[in-house]
Amino acid sequence: MEIWINPACSKCRSALTLLDAEGAAYTVRRYLEDVPSPDEIRAVLDRLGLEPWDITRTQEAEAKELGLKEWPREAGSRDRWIEALAGHPKLIQRPIITADDGTAVVARTDEAVRDALGR
Protein backbone atom coordinates (compact mmCIF):
# COMPACT_ATOMS: atom_id res chain seq x y z
CA MET A 1 0.00 0.00 0.00
CA GLU A 2 1.00 3.62 -0.41
CA ILE A 3 0.19 6.54 1.88
CA TRP A 4 0.20 10.16 0.72
CA ILE A 5 1.32 12.34 3.61
CA ASN A 6 2.37 15.79 4.69
CA PRO A 7 4.88 15.18 7.54
CA ALA A 8 3.65 18.35 9.30
CA CYS A 9 0.12 16.89 9.57
CA SER A 10 -0.82 15.26 12.88
CA LYS A 11 -3.39 12.98 11.17
CA CYS A 12 -0.65 11.74 8.84
CA ARG A 13 1.71 11.06 11.71
CA SER A 14 -1.05 9.20 13.57
CA ALA A 15 -1.77 7.07 10.51
CA LEU A 16 1.92 6.19 10.14
CA THR A 17 2.14 5.29 13.83
CA LEU A 18 -0.84 2.95 13.49
CA LEU A 19 0.53 1.37 10.30
CA ASP A 20 3.86 0.77 12.04
CA ALA A 21 2.14 -0.67 15.14
CA GLU A 22 0.27 -3.11 12.90
CA GLY A 23 3.46 -4.09 11.06
CA ALA A 24 2.03 -2.97 7.72
CA ALA A 25 4.17 -2.83 4.61
CA TYR A 26 3.73 0.54 2.94
CA THR A 27 5.43 3.21 0.88
CA VAL A 28 5.34 6.87 1.91
CA ARG A 29 4.69 9.53 -0.69
CA ARG A 30 5.33 13.07 0.49
CA TYR A 31 2.88 14.51 -1.98
CA LEU A 32 3.92 18.15 -1.43
CA GLU A 33 7.38 17.21 -2.76
CA ASP A 34 6.39 14.38 -5.12
CA VAL A 35 3.31 16.09 -6.53
CA PRO A 36 0.75 13.77 -8.11
CA SER A 37 -0.10 14.40 -11.74
CA PRO A 38 -3.67 15.08 -12.82
CA ASP A 39 -3.86 11.47 -14.07
CA GLU A 40 -2.66 10.14 -10.70
CA ILE A 41 -5.28 12.27 -8.93
CA ARG A 42 -7.98 10.94 -11.27
CA ALA A 43 -6.86 7.36 -10.54
CA VAL A 44 -6.95 7.93 -6.77
CA LEU A 45 -10.37 9.58 -7.03
CA ASP A 46 -11.63 6.54 -8.96
CA ARG A 47 -10.22 4.26 -6.24
CA LEU A 48 -11.81 6.41 -3.53
CA GLY A 49 -15.13 6.66 -5.35
CA LEU A 50 -15.06 10.42 -4.73
CA GLU A 51 -15.00 13.65 -6.70
CA PRO A 52 -12.12 16.15 -6.51
CA TRP A 53 -14.12 18.62 -4.42
CA ASP A 54 -14.64 15.83 -1.86
CA ILE A 55 -10.89 15.69 -1.14
CA THR A 56 -10.17 19.42 -1.38
CA ARG A 57 -9.11 21.34 1.71
CA THR A 58 -11.29 24.39 1.08
CA GLN A 59 -10.18 26.21 4.25
CA GLU A 60 -6.57 26.54 3.08
CA ALA A 61 -5.41 30.04 2.12
CA GLU A 62 -4.70 28.85 -1.43
CA ALA A 63 -8.28 27.60 -1.77
CA LYS A 64 -9.60 30.96 -0.67
CA GLU A 65 -7.29 32.76 -3.10
CA LEU A 66 -8.58 30.55 -5.94
CA GLY A 67 -12.18 31.06 -4.85
CA LEU A 68 -12.81 27.30 -4.74
CA LYS A 69 -15.91 27.60 -2.60
CA GLU A 70 -17.64 29.29 -5.54
CA TRP A 71 -16.53 26.74 -8.15
CA PRO A 72 -19.32 24.51 -9.48
CA ARG A 73 -19.31 20.99 -8.11
CA GLU A 74 -20.43 19.18 -11.24
CA ALA A 75 -19.03 16.82 -13.86
CA GLY A 76 -18.21 19.66 -16.26
CA SER A 77 -15.93 21.25 -13.65
CA ARG A 78 -14.17 18.05 -12.58
CA ASP A 79 -11.03 18.64 -14.65
CA ARG A 80 -10.72 22.20 -13.38
CA TRP A 81 -10.75 20.91 -9.80
CA ILE A 82 -8.22 18.18 -10.60
CA GLU A 83 -5.88 20.70 -12.23
CA ALA A 84 -6.19 22.91 -9.12
CA LEU A 85 -5.23 19.97 -6.88
CA ALA A 86 -2.25 19.10 -9.10
CA GLY A 87 -1.17 22.74 -9.19
CA HIS A 88 -1.71 23.30 -5.47
CA PRO A 89 -1.08 19.93 -3.76
CA LYS A 90 -1.49 21.48 -0.31
CA LEU A 91 -5.22 21.45 -1.11
CA ILE A 92 -5.35 17.63 -1.23
CA GLN A 93 -6.94 16.08 1.86
CA ARG A 94 -4.55 13.84 3.74
CA PRO A 95 -3.55 11.20 4.44
CA ILE A 96 -4.73 9.03 1.57
CA ILE A 97 -3.96 5.32 1.62
CA THR A 98 -4.13 3.31 -1.58
CA ALA A 99 -4.67 -0.33 -0.67
CA ASP A 100 -3.27 -3.36 -2.46
CA ASP A 101 -6.75 -4.42 -3.58
CA GLY A 102 -7.12 -1.31 -5.78
CA THR A 103 -9.22 0.70 -3.36
CA ALA A 104 -8.26 3.78 -1.34
CA VAL A 105 -9.35 5.62 1.80
CA VAL A 106 -8.92 9.10 3.20
CA ALA A 107 -7.33 7.94 6.44
CA ARG A 108 -8.09 10.77 8.85
CA THR A 109 -9.25 8.40 11.59
CA ASP A 110 -7.84 5.23 13.14
CA GLU A 111 -10.91 3.40 11.85
CA ALA A 112 -10.15 4.43 8.25
CA VAL A 113 -6.52 3.28 8.63
CA ARG A 114 -7.71 -0.07 10.00
CA ASP A 115 -10.17 -0.31 7.11
CA ALA A 116 -7.27 0.06 4.67
CA LEU A 117 -5.27 -2.55 6.58
CA GLY A 118 -8.12 -5.03 6.28
CA ARG A 119 -8.16 -4.88 2.50
pLDDT at 109: 95
DSSP 8-state class, residue 34: S
Return the SS3 of 30. Answer: strand
Reply yes or no on whether 9 is catalytic.
yes
pLDDT at 119: 74
pLDDT at 100: 86
Catalytic residue among 1, 6, 9, 16: 9
Strand-pairing partners, residue 112, are: none
Residue 103, class by beta-carbon neighbours within 10 Å (0-12 exposed, 13-18 middle, 19+ buried)? middle
Residues whose CB falls within 8 Å of the CB of residue 93, separated by 6 or more in sequence, listed in order: 55, 56, 57, 106, 108
Among 95, 96, 94, 92, residue whose Cα is nearest residue 81: 92
Mean pLDDT of the chain: 96
The mean pLDDT of 85-96, rounded to a whole number, is 97
